[in-house]
Amino acid sequence: MLTGAGISAESGIRTFRDSDGLWHDHRIEDVATPEGWQRNPGLVLEFYNQRRRELHKAQPNAAHIALARAEETFDVRIITQNIDDLHERAGSTKVLHLHGELKKARSTADPSLIYDIEGTELNLGDRCELGSQLRPHIVWFGEDVPAMPLAAQIVQTADVFAVVGSSLVVYPAAALVQYVPPTAPIFVVDPKDVSVPTWREVIFIKEKASVGVPKMLEAMRDFFTEDKRKGE
Ligand code: NAD
């Protein structure tokens, strides 16, 4: 399962590219690139402090909760582009964050030094144990996505694949669709049309995540029951 900003929209966290999205108020180059960090680290820290304050007030919604409960029936592996922790707070146990985590900071001297952020603020002058400034533990545009090989491995072994709330325009995450085994059906839950980079048939559920995810899980249960019957 690949989730994107859309799954957290109903929790009050803005997506990036919708009309009220974050990229309407902020320039990507200023707040989500290594060059932006070099130019004005204070601005970047304040952008993510705002995101953290927003997340502090947010709760998981029906879609996060349905995916967590689905672990009772399925071996659910969530690969998320989101930096929030709403999947974990809903109770999902296997969550891989492709683009980092908002509630963590990392050393600018040694990327293996990662720390939990207490509260919502990370400021200039907050240092790692080596004395270097801490930065948000976020994969910015133009940076490597270290979790990609593991994500591709997870997708390659899937019996069914789903994309929830992602415009699929950010690479390499969008390319994960290409690793789906030919026998695994592909579902997409999104209220808008999404262009999926595959020639394969895709089952679209054109709903908001809170409605679409429970519908999708029902369709998956039907698929596996039928599949089992065929095999008997
Ligand atoms: P995106 O903004 O490009 O696309 C969001 C998608 O969600 C759109 O297709 C939109 O139609 C859909 N959507 C909007 N409301 C929805 C709802 N209620 N239910 C289901 N779908 C809905 O986001 P993306 O594809 O995730 O882009 C990737 C980037 O966005 C990543 O880098 C990610 O880190 C970042 N991001 C994360 C968060 C978060 O952590 N919650 C928030 C904003 C952006």
- Please state the rounded mean pLDDT for residues 123-135: 97
Tell me the torsion sign for CA atoms 183, 188, 193, 195: negative
- Report the length, in residues, of the chain: 232
**Summary mean pLDDT of the chain:** 93
User: 157-195, pLDDT tens digit by residue?
Assistant: 999 999 999 999 888 889 999 999 999 999 999 999 999
Write down the pLDDT at residue 147: 96
| Domains located in the chain, CATH noted | 2-231 (3.40.50.1220)
Q: Is the pLDDT of residue 232 over 70?
A: no
Distance from the alpha carbon of residue 49 to the mean position of ligand 1, in angstroms:
19
| 186 to 81, 110, 114, 152, 176: CA distances (angstroms) | 18, 39, 35, 15, 12
Q: Which residue out of 15, 51, 85 has the highest number of ligand 1 atoms within 8 Å of its CB and is therefore the one to mutate?
A: 15
At 228 the pLDDT is 65
Does the beta carbon of 151 lie inside 6 Å of ligand 1? no
pLDDT at 19: 64
pLDDT in tens, 46-61: 999 999 999 999 999 9
Q: How far is the CA of 116 from the centre of ligand 1 (A)?
A: 24
